[in-house]
Amino acid sequence: MRIAIIGAGGVGGYFGGRLARAGNDVAFVARGEHLAALRQGGLRVRSVAGDFTVNPVRATDDPAEVGPTDAVLLATKTWQVAEACRTAAPLLGPDTVVVTLQNGVEAPAQAAEVVGRERVLPGVARIFSRVEGPGVVVHGGGPASVTFGEWDGPPTARVERLREALAAAGVAAATPDDVQADLWAKFLFVVPMGGVGALARAPVGVLRSMPETRRLLEEAMAEILAVARARGIGLPEDVVARTMGFVDAQPAEGTTSLQRDVAGGRPSELEAWCGAVVRLGAASGVATPLHRVMYHALLPLERRARGEAVFAD
């Protein structure tokens, strides 16, 4: 398949690397030092599942050099979705699909506003990965899986074709009938981990082992479950217990991208994570006091990272 990866970071770099290594025609849309490193030395992936290198790598900052593709995997940060979709215009042929892999529940609709709902396949990536340096992606754990599908209903031929390409590349890929439930299940996992982790400045091993922070995780998950139910999302009754079991299975040193960005003074996905829970809860008549505290407590750091607030020295 001809596949474009927009956002060659931890998620896009890992899955795009697997697809390229398996013989697919993969083009990475990147920029800056990362792009230069990809062009010079290829893509190096250090993974708990086995290290590998893809060299040469097809990488560019101009999608017009790539042309129409079969699929675009959108692996940018949440606040970059609309602009990335506008950038993707040269990659879109008559049958091109755009798979959203952001950590949030609003990205598919945001992408659909730009490229059209009929092109978008909502998706979920489950992986602990990051860019360690230009041209280097580290996969530290997690299932390293992708779930995607049509907005509603069973998998179609285009969904199955992409699933087969991912499976042939060694990527666990699922195509459920209800991808919205999977989006919210991931949301229920990552947002409490990100918010509590950013405030506690601690990895998952600490968060799950201390009774106080473990309880915070459970309470935050319960708030998201209440919002999901109010919005008609079919999450199972035991989703909080299942998710805590998933938390317990993660590498003890694991952290979320949100807490790494907050700790590093970089713009984060706070608005699409904790902020989204607060917004969607208010719109649905569901109180979300814990997420409101996390959102408001982290907001000054977020605004400083974006140059929107001045802190005294």
Position 260 scores a pLDDT of 93
What integer pLDDT is reported at residue 124 of this predicted model?
95
Give strand pairing partners of 27.
4, 58
Give the residue from 10, 62, 61 showing the smallest Cα distance to 35: 61
Tokens of 74: 């959108």
H or E segment and range at residue 294: helix 289-305
The reported pLDDT for the residue numbered 45 is 97
DSSP 258-276: HHHHHHTT---STTTTHHH
pLDDT at 128: 84
pLDDT band at 250 (very low <50, low <70, confident <90, very high): confident
Task: Tell me: do 108 and 131 sit in the same domain.
Answer: yes
> What is the domain range of residue 73?
2-177
Task: Look at residue 312 and tell me if it is in a domain.
Answer: no
Of 118, 147, 177, which one is at a domain's C-terminal end?
A: 177
pLDDT band, residue 206 (cuts 50/70/90): very high
Pair (49, 101) in one structural domain = yes
Instruction: Give dist(CA 52, CA 258) in Å, integer.
Output: 27
The pTM of the full predicted model, rounded to 2 decimals, is 0.90
pLDDT at 258 over 70: yes
According to the model, what pLDDT value does residue 313 have?
56
Which residue's structure tokens are 């569901």?
A: 286
pLDDT recorded at residue 226: 98
On whether both 29 and 86 belong to a single domain, the answer is: yes
pLDDT single digits (tens) 213-243: 999 999 999 999 999 999 999 999 999 999 9
CATH number at residue 225: 1.10.1040.10
98 and 83 belong to one structural domain: yes
pLDDT at 312: 64
- Total domains, the chain: 2
Rounded to an integer, what distance in angstroms lies between the CA atom of residue 19 and that of residue 225?
34
Percentage above 70 pLDDT, the chain: 99
pLDDT above 60 for 145: yes
64-97 pLDDT, tens digit each = 999 999 999 999 999 999 999 999 999 999 999 9
Mean of pLDDT over the chain: 95
* Residues present in the chain in total: 313
For residues 190 and 172, state if they share a domain.
no
Where does the pLDDT of residue 154 fall: very low under 50, low under 70, confident under 90, or very high at 90 and above?
very high
- Mean pLDDT, residues 28-52: 96
pLDDT bracket for residue 143 (50, 70, 90): confident
DSSP state, 151?
A: S
List the one residue out of 244, 255, 245, 11 whose CA is nearest residue 126: 11
Burial of 120 (0-12, 13-18, 19+ CB in 10 A): buried
Question: Is there a domain that residue 65 lies in?
Answer: yes
Centre a 10 Å sphere on the Cβ of residue 234 and count the other Cβ atoms it contains: 10
Residues 108 and 163 in one domain: yes
Q: How confident is the model at residue 293 (pLDDT cuts 50, 70, 90)?
A: very high
Given a cut of 80, whether residue 280 has pLDDT beyond it is yes
My answer on whether 298 and 229 are in the same domain is: yes
Do residues 116 and 172 share a domain? yes
**Looking at the structure, do residues 80 and 191 belong to the same domain, yes or no?**
no
Domain C-terminal end among 116, 146, 177: 177
